[in-house]
Amino acid sequence: MDKQVVKLLEDIKKLMILQIMKGSNPSTSDEIGEVLGVTGRAIRNVATTTKKKVKKNKK
């Protein structure tokens, strides 16, 4: 694959994770998960653990 395409896919993945971290509904993360080839539950788990780490760092 072209390097630009790979970079674009990575950027899209980051944006999707950020969107889920904002607290979108579970069905959205399931749909995004289908696109990325993982379960929506896995994405939500990553999003929530990342959220917790960010909160800890702010204290």
Q: Domain-by-domain residue ranges, the chain?
A: 3-58
CB-based contact 44:25 (threshold 8 Å): no
Q: What pLDDT is recorded for position 18?
A: 73
- Assessment of whether the complete model's pTM goes beyond 0.75: no
Give the rounded percent of residues in the chain with a pLDDT score beyond 70.
Answer: 31
The mean predicted confidence, pLDDT, of the chain is 68
Q: What pLDDT is recorded for position 12?
A: 79
Helices 3-21, 26-36: axis angle to 10 degrees equals 160
Which residues contact residue 19 at a Cβ distance below 8 angstroms, ignoring those fewer than 6 apart?
28, 32
